[in-house]
Structure 1
Amino acid sequence: MIYVTGDTHGDITRFKSPEMKKVGRGDTLIIAGDFGFLWDNSKQEAAALKKLADKNFTIAFLDGCHENFDMLEKYPIEEWKGGKVHIIAPNIIHLLRGQVYTIEKSRIFTFGGGHSQDIEFRRDNDWWEREQPSHEEIKEGIAHLRENNYKFDYIITHEPPASLKECLGVDVLERLEVHAFFEDIIKTCKYREWFFGKCHIDKHIPIKFHAVFNSVIPLK
């Protein structure tokens, strides 16, 4: 079974929540950005990563707006389930932007990254420009959409499309190239459901969209 949840921000207690008890041996848990367990290379962080590496399910995460990209990019790019990844541990996988993965026969398009609302407080300390998707990453994503005939089972992103930002009243004024790209995906692609983690709320936006945070939602 595949499950989707929202930002974990390096909080190991999230994996002890009643919601997480749904995830069992051999399952795949996809985190829609801001995994946060590769942040400061501390002993506490290493211990938390070891606990996650001991889980009997796969943790596959998109990057979000609060990641240490210097740490993430030290891992070599490899292939997993048909798309590019960083393999942090045998069961901890960083899903790269604009990739398509086939997991349990489901075709999933992923696109992490976005805009930090707290950028003014972090710019000189723990902010990375690479959190914002580049034009080249978007071009690669477009190529993969075309290769797959614009048909997917699921789309999972960190940021929501621009139109949903307005609907949810979240970060309304900020517009990146990736937001326009997501609007194009809405118009051109066929998919069953779209999940995003940026907004830190659990909300279904009919018919196909899900803002996800603490919920752990099965992909059926």
Structure 2
Amino acid sequence: MIYVTGDMHGEFSRFKTKDIKKIRENDTLIICGDFGFIWDGSRHEQSVLDKIGRMKFNVAFIDGCHENFELLNNYEVIDWNGGKAQHITGNLVHLMRGQIYTIEGKKILAFGGGHSQDYDYRKNQDWWIEEHPTHEEIIESINNLSIYDNDIDYIVTHEPPASLKDCLGVDVLQRLEIHAFFEDIIRACHFEKWFFGKCHVDKYIPMKFYAVFEDVLQMYEIDEP
């Protein structure tokens, strides 16, 4: 089974909740950005990463707006379930922007990054320009989608599409190229569900969209025989 949850911001207590503890061996937990456990490069941080990597299930995160990209960029890029990913340690990987992964037979587009709402406060101390998705990453995503004729199963992002920002009343005046690209995906692609984490709410927006924060959602329902 594949599970999805929202921003963790380096809070290991999130892995101790009953919903995450029930995840079984060889299942996969996807985190919708702001993973936050790669931040200061300390020995304590590495020990926490090792602990996450030793969990019985796979942990895969997309980057958000609160990551140390200077450290994150140093990790090895590998092939993981058909797409490029960075291996952090053990069963822990970073899902890279615009990549499509096949997990349990499901095709999943991952696209992290976004814009920090607290940019003015952080810009001179712990903010990295790499949080902004680039045009090249968008083009790579378009090329990868074309391989599957724009027909995938699920989408996992940090930012929501622009129309969903308006629907939720968050960041309504802030627009990036990525928001317009996400609107293009809605129009051009077939997909079952779209999960995003930035808004820090748990809310279903009919018919296909899920803002996820603390909830741990099953990506799909198992068909009973």
Q: How many residues align?
A: 220
Alignment-derived partner of residue 135 in structure 1: 135
Tell whether the 8 Å contact from 2:50 to 2:90 is kept in structure 1 after alignment.
no
1:54 and 2:46 correspond: no
Q: Which runs of 5+ in 2 are unaligned?
A: 221-225
Q: Deviations over 1:108-162 (max 9, x none)?
A: 0010000000000000100000000000000101111111111111000000000
Letter of the 2:131 counterpart: E
Alignment-derived partner of residue 209 in structure 2: 209
Q: Deviations over 1:143-183 (max 9, x none)?
A: 11111111111000000000000100111111000000000
Q: How does 1:111-130 map to 2 (within 5 A)?
A: 111-130=111-130
Q: Which runs of 5+ in 1 are unaligned?
A: none
Q: CA deviation at 1:18?
A: 1.7
TM-score (norm 2): 0.96
Letter of the 2:4 counterpart: V
Q: CA deviation at 1:89?
A: 1.1
Q: Could you tell me the percent identity over the aligned residues?
A: 58
The two structures, once aligned, show a CA RMSD in angstroms of 0.8
Moved more, 35-44 or 150-159: 35-44
Q: Deviations over 1:69-92 (max 9, x none)?
A: 011110122111010110001300
Letter of the 1:31 counterpart: I
CA–CA separation in structure 2 for the residues paired with 1:22 and 1:9? 21
CA–CA separation in structure 2 for the residues paired with 1:170 and 1:70? 28
Alignment-derived partner of residue 35 in structure 1: 35
CA–CA separation in structure 1 for the residues paired with 2:23 and 2:127? 32
Alignment-derived partner of residue 193 in structure 1: 193
| 2:19 match: secondary structure | helix
Moved more, 43-52 or 205-214: 43-52
Q: How does 1:113-192 map to 2 (within 5 A)?
A: 113-192=113-192
TM-score (norm 1): 0.98
Letter of the 1:74 counterpart: N
| 1:152 match: secondary structure | coil
Alignment-derived partner of residue 74 in structure 1: 74
Tell whether the 8 Å contact from 2:5 to 2:32 is kept in structure 1 after alignment.
yes
Q: CA deviation at 1:41?
A: 1.2
| 1:23 match: secondary structure | coil
CA–CA separation in structure 1 for the residues paired with 2:130 and 2:53? 26
